[in-house]
Amino acid sequence: MKLEELGEFGFIDRLAGQVKARPGVMLGIGDDAAILAPTASKVTLATSDMLVEGIHFDLALTDPFTLGRKSLAVNLSDLAAMGAQPRHALLSLAIPPALPVEFLDEFTRGFLALADEFQVALVGGDTCASRGGLVISVTALGEQCPDLVVRRSTACAGDLVLVTGSLGDSALGLEFLRQDIRSGRAVERHLDPLPRVAAGLRLAEACLATAMIDVSDGLLADLGHILDLSGVGARLDLARLPLSEECRHHVSVDRKDPFALPLAGGEDYELLFTALPEREALVRSELADCGVPVTVIGEITADRGLSLTDPAGNPYHPERQGYNHFGTIRNTGPQPAS
């Protein structure tokens, strides 16, 4: 079926028929606006990401189901970084007329599959035609008690710098995809990232993270946001960066700078956070309970600026700091969603 035969409202009805009822949704898709019931004593956190074909994704490198999942995942990662419980989402699409309805069916199936995993209700959005490529805009809403929300601006000198999971896998996966390697852990990490919602909630509700952000533009760029907003600096020990075996092998064999991907590759969607040194054991215990590894990679300093030390104890000066959305647009493939 062609999209012009289905029509805008036919597509919306087709999508609405797949959406499950969720608590807190008094009125979902079908009216001019959704009606949502807030949870008592909670504040609402809202985040939005736009993914543009040719900038953030390449349809030659991904399938529609996985693209649907990732479109929601990058938003849920933002909520996780503030310790919020995801609740609702809005999905807007600018669609090229030639895009098959079957593609959109698979895309929405993937989007709703991830929504089901995190008990998120799709409550609305918008559709329009695109004279260029596919454009995806997602707004996600979450909740948390106001005193438990974790910000970027509250790191203090003496805090540890920690990160969940491993770094560099997504950027390595993108390199593999460009080489027509379509399987493996790194490829999965790039195409289908898993937002660290449970870990973010644990860190917030146990008051363990003093500041937090998700790693989307790259470790250096995202840590820079915490340092700038908190008015502090940091020291990182690159020997402690958590790398998967796959990433460690390939960066040591294939490149002169083994730290470029974990420091500036981006789209890992791990949580980068700070915590008091005396609470490190509790951090490890809480995250172990939800199956998430965590690594101390440095400490916050009172002096502004970021210093990096390589495994030999020498100063390290990175060539790249991470992705700049308003810098020169590179023609090398998908760029990170924020």
DSSP string over 200-239: HHHHHHTT--SEEEE-SS-HHHHHHHHHHHHT-EEEEEGG
> Between 49 and 255, where is the model more confident?
49
% of the chain exceeding 90 in pLDDT = 81
Structure confidence at residue 332 (pLDDT): 39
pLDDT of 205: 98
For residue 335, pLDDT beyond 70:
no
Q: What is the pLDDT of residue 109?
A: 96
- Rounded to whole angstroms, the Cα distance separating 332 from 203 reads 36
- CA–chain centroid gap for 317, Å, is 26
Fold of 3-148: 60s Ribosomal Protein L30; Chain: A; (3.30.1330)
What is the arithmetic mean of pLDDT over 215-220?
96
What pairs with residue 58 in β-bridges?
none
The reported pTM is 0.92
Given pLDDT bands bounded at 50, 70 and 90, which one contains residue 14?
confident
98 token code pair: 């030639």
Q: How many CA atoms lie within 13 A of 180 on its CB side?
A: 0
What Å distances lie between residue 52 and 56, 107, 169, CA to CA?
A: 5, 15, 22
The pairing of beta strand 43-52 with beta strand 211-214? unpaired
pLDDT > 70? residue 41: yes
Beta-bridged to residue 306, according to DSSP, are 234
Rounded Cα–Cα distance for residues 180 and 108 (Å): 26
- CATH second-level architecture of 160-309? Alpha-Beta Complex (3.90)
Give the mean pLDDT of 127-139.
94
Backbone dihedral angles phi then psi of residue 255, each to the nearest 5 degrees: -145, 155
Asked if the model's pLDDT at residue 327 lies above 90, the reply is: no
How far apart, in Å, are the Cα atoms of 254 and each of 154, 261, 309? 38, 12, 22
Q: Where are the domains of the chain?
A: 3-148, 160-309
Q: Averaged over 117-145, what is the pLDDT?
A: 95
| 2 — pLDDT class (breaks 50, 70, 90) | low
Q: What is the pLDDT of residues 291-324, one digit of tens each?
A: 999 999 999 999 999 999 999 999 999 887 765 5
- C-alpha to C-alpha distance for 6 and 14, rounded to whole angstroms: 9
